[in-house]
Structure 1
Amino acid sequence: MRIHFLLSLLVALSVLIEQGEVSGNVSDPQTVQCHERSMLDASVVRVYHGEVGRLGCPVSHHLSAYNYSLIWYRVQPDQGLEKPINVSLPNPRITADHKWLWFQPAFSEDAGQYVCVVRNGTHDHRTTLQLEVLLRANNGCVSQAAEGSCVVKVPLEESAELNCPDLQEFQLSPKSTPVKVKWSNKNCSNFSPKKWVSIVNKDSKIVIHIMRQNMEGNYTCVVEYHSGGKTLSFTRVVTLKAKSSSRLPKTPIIHNPNLDQIFTVKLGSEGRLECRALVFDEDLKPQLWWEVNGKTLQQLSDSRFTNITSYKEDELGDRTMMSVLLIQKFSSQDLHFNYTCHAHNTKGSASRTAKLQPEEYLPSVELGCGLGVVLVVTLVLFVVYHVYHLELLLLYRAYCGPDESATDRKEYDVYISYARNSEEETFVLLTLRRVLENELGYKVFIFDRDSLPGGTITDETLSYVGRSRRLMVVLSPNYLVQGTQALLELKAGLDAMAQAGDLRVILVQYQPISRDSWVRELRRARVALALIQWKGEKSSDLSSRFWKQLQVELPVRRRKNTLSEDSPALPMTTYTHTYPQ
């Protein structure tokens, strides 16, 4: 709950305690009137059927200084012609009185356009007015008046009296005497006759003993009087609203900028300084503005300085105003100015000076460019590595790779295992052996060529496999035949690789092999080892991917003529037979 409502409630309770009764009979309640409604300036006038209504002809101050005459005309609905209204008949229903054209009462056929002409001999002033006649069911209470409701604001926990609007004005009509005023509450029911209610109907007035928010709403008054032997009436609606107590101090309160707030401005950009203040209700004529070095924006005469002012009201009609000072192309010189927000109403004034600091410079452009360069370089390096990673590995091995021959004391670089008496034997002897020995400079061991006669095949195989740094297995369907020497070589190499770790196995796929026909040892090796595929003529060139992958798996051999893109292709006569993939 709002703090000023609590204060109002405490004030009201203290008044009740002093009076010693719950009713809160407040002496001398203040009489409040509707907010000003100028019927003379209304171009459209609405009245209920069977009630009194009037049209007002506005007369300018210039014409009222001279003798003038006023004539009323009615515009014929069908013909569009203006017909003078005869107001000199005995006991007419439509009469003219000074600036007013009276309808006592108004009927549905009176609806339409009317013209008043003001003449002073030299000038004619014409005004067109519209009369609307509304129907009301059973002449009952209405929540909205034909003329529109007038608004009355009463402070919380205070007393007031409400009169029916236009009561005094209608007493001025010819030979009219008010006789009765009947009020209906916001629920269109009669007021309770009880004495101890907060709001009662007394002497044709509404008496509010203690104003509360639940009393807000539209209240209807029906006035009846006699004129010309007839009983006439008119209906008005009063909208009752609560506002904050007048007993509270209502000097403006500036919420923003507060004492600890610092506005951050960016040099060269638009500066925004926001001032927000509680200035209370409209009746106090609140104002909110900025001053720069003690001058208002009008006095400053600098087009760079502008402001936007807005406000919002709470449920009690108190206003919170906001003024935003805009400074175009904020400069370092503007930092030395004093920016003061002022709030003022009829109860007092308040002011607050804003504190400013420049925004720290962030090299966003430089950071963005640097980040962009890093991303581009990273992308380029990723692409280069993805395309040339084999070349990069070979280059690294050529200069930084360890020379295994200096420490392992092994005799051979590569032991080639293959299926004997088959097509792959030609591939091994004429292609693999020649490139490895002649082009790359490796020492190759081929059992049928290099083994000594007279020994046991099993012992000799295990011995030579152990004396080699790499076991190159040339895979083909013939290689998988159980009981061949090739499988013995494969098992020996895998055991040496698993136990001592000084031998690595290289798998070269010469021909495609169905995975279902793989032996157990080969499945175990395939999980841990890469498979290099021979693709016939595509792999015959020394710069092909096959030879680069193979060289990465072989021991480091530092030679001046390292494998490169300019290496010559293998002669096509070396290996011309291709196999289906």
Structure 2
Amino acid sequence: MQTTNVFLLFFIFPISLEGCCEENHKKKTTGLQQNIHQHYRAVEGEMFMMPCLKSVSQVVWSRTGEQNERLSFDCGSKFLAEAKHSGNYTCLTWSLLSSGSKLSLHLQVVEKNSLGCQSEESSVILVMFRGGVVDCPGINCSDNTDVIWYKDNKYVSEQPRESWEKNGQLHLEQVKEKDTGQYFCDRKIIEQGVKWIFRRAVHVTAIPYVKPSTPKIHYPTDNTREEVELGQSHTLECVVHFPFELKVVAVVQWYVHYGGNMENMTRLHMKEQRMENLTRAEFKVTGRVVVTPQHLNHRYTCIASNSVGKTNVTIQLKRKMKVILPSLCGPIVSLLLVAGLGIILHIRWLEVQLIYRSHFQHGKHNGDEKEFDVFLSYVGSPPSAEVEGVFTMSPKEACSSSMDLLNSEEGKATQRPEVQLPHVLEDQWGYRLCLLERDVLPGGAYTNDVVLAIQRSQMLICLLSADYLSNNNAVFVLESGVQALLQNSSLKLLLIWTSRASSLIQPDPPLPTLVQRALKVLPSMDWTSGKTAGVSSNFWRSLRKAMPNHRVAGVSHAGPLDCLTKTSVTEFSEFV
């Protein structure tokens, strides 16, 4: 009885490896060790799938023996068969170990040209919603037409679709899109008493029905010209889109017309012809040929043809213009760029100097070296006697009249920048201020007095207005300050515009060129006066940051701002 069971297992296993393993699993109660060895054959260059066990979900085949390379494959894994894959493989699972059985497989990979007969193609195209037939490659090489078909690692006969097997062919009643994939057919052969399972692969592509049409040449277009260098090799390329056909007959070929004669064509030797799938209904063929034109008299034609018809385009060659001394282009461009930057820098060198000296470079401001902290330059109408009297009062008198001053016409006059700035800078912040009309002795030369006052000051502040830019003496102060800034980096220069509209008015006489260029780049602020100054102190905060760091220690000036009541101090407190 035991011998009969072994014989049955050996007989059933070649038909289905899954069935063998299942039968072996059923006989685990016998307690006897069973060694089952099977032989599989594959074709080099074709896809091969390692068999699976029907009763076991995960199986790993490991190659045994003295091979240099250790190989392991999961069941159902597909790979391109190579000669190095030949060898013995062992399958070990818990079900086999518990039954004391061992399952082994011998894989032999043979060359395709050694099959001894013409083998069918290993791919097929089927039209959807029609019947389809898939042939098992090499079925005509044997009288045995008993074939088992798989789609991936599942029996086709067990899948929920209308199909049947006849004479080694797989018949599909109606092709569907999901039928696209890799199929395998197993047939049995016996050689020298050894039973083999010959597994072949067929790739099936299901395509929608496409009405047959002629191919379309996408490149080149007809009557185009390609640039070439005479005497140098040149590659002509023809890109054609073909519709899918059951029997693909796609041909792309180049021809040359000598002397432009369209009837005198010679076929050229193709360098390569590459095919690439675009969609399921269309594929692309690229044909290339290498030519070496000696003159421009010839024309070249690409002809694409299939079972429906042919299409052609003709191109002509033209001479490619050689670039003279291309290696000099880079240095020339660089030289021109550097020269252009140099010219711009030379033209704007004054502005660059002023920006650098006024924004990025200041010397050490030592109060002991300069007599004044700030030289304030402005042009304004002189204050009335009543207003002067207010600021020459005693502190007690100034305190008693401060509220009347703010609400009077004289109070409004004190809001002028030439009045407010000196009192804030000198009386509130304690800076040593230089005013020409107050601190320079009369009777001297104006130009010398201005230059000397700038040299004795750490900073020059100019209150710019339309009247200031039209006053020759005031413009001279600004010009002297710019020249001193260019010569001495320790001087700070600040412009305060009392009205930006002043910058748009062309003064008479015109400003010196140095002053015009300096006004564009020197640090500047916009004057904020009146109640706006009391509400927003941004102007005064910015001014405080721009002032020199040095202050006279212990300076305490009694002025109108020192004795304002809490009610009236809101008009002035924000700029302190």
Bigger Rg over Cα: 1
Question: Fold-level match, TM-score > 0.5?
Answer: no
Question: Would you tell me which structure has more helix in proportion to its own residues?
Answer: 2
